[in-house]
Amino acid sequence: MKVGKHEIHERRGLGGLVAVICLLLQFQGCAEVPITHRKSLHLVPESELLTMSFQQYNEVLKKSKLSTDQQKVQMVRNVGFKIAKAAEAFLAENGQSALIKNYKWDFNLIEDDKTVNAWVMPGGKAAVYTGILPYTQNETGLAVVLGHEVGHALADHGNERMSDALVAQMGGMALSVALSSQQQQTKQLFMTVYGAGATVGFLLPYSRLHESEADRIGLTLMARAGYDPRQAIPFWERMSKQEGQRPPQFLSTHPAPETRIADIKKYIPEALPYYEKSAK
């Protein structure tokens, strides 16, 4: 069968794109998610990601009203640093300390009763909104939330989302070229992925896979920090009972509440021994 010149050029172009992506994956893109051991695509250099993260975090804090309720603030920081310490210990035991070697943990409580949300950005910069506290109810409930969010950070889900978008938007362009020649686009992409405090419509949502991984990692972290992972079930049940209201930003549409709770029940036996050990 005779092939036209135009088709030959198209095939060569596609081949070049595939080659670039493969090279990126081979030399800088492969990463392993803690606990699940899934291989994921991480193309954005950590230095670039942390620089943008720290800048965005400082901007959010400047624009937000930080809580002056010292009891609640201390609770958030107490739980947060326990989870962070558990994460550091777990990664050290598994030879993955390099994943967070440049983290500078910080946990703040933002006074906003209408926002049911919490997040942890690259580098360990975290915020909890007062609107989620009625659902967490206590330190253990808060440990479910922060364990989940730290889980996203440890798995570097944001980098993976940015990497997927970079490949799609920049057509396989060499990453060094993309970051140097299209810095504004890359920054805008970061803001889309990590748009802390933005409305749901402007955020690139986590996939069902990412949510499930964060749940699984979070259960192990909270258990190692001395919190009963079984309490994750009543927390998510409380979050799912939002009759007549718009689902809170923290409650992802993926997976459905009943699916998430069923999966968590499967993960609890994996995390429970850590809690039982810590309770002795």
Place of tokens 């409650």: 251
Burial class (CB in 10 A: 0-12, 13-18, 19+), 10: exposed
Q: Specify whether 149 is catalytic.
A: yes
b (16+ CB within 10 A) / e for 244-279: eeeebbbbbeebebeebbebbeebbeebbebbeeee
Considering only CA atoms, which of 143, 164, 265, 275 is closest in space to residue 210? 164
Q: Are 136 and 75 in contact (CB under 8 A)?
A: no
Q: Which of 32, 46, 48, 149 is catalytic?
A: 149
> Maximum Cα–Cα distance for the chain, whole Å?
76
Residue 15 CA: distances (Å) to CA of 8, 10, 11, 12, 21? 10, 9, 6, 5, 10
What token pair was written down for 167? 């490949």
Positions marked active-site: 149
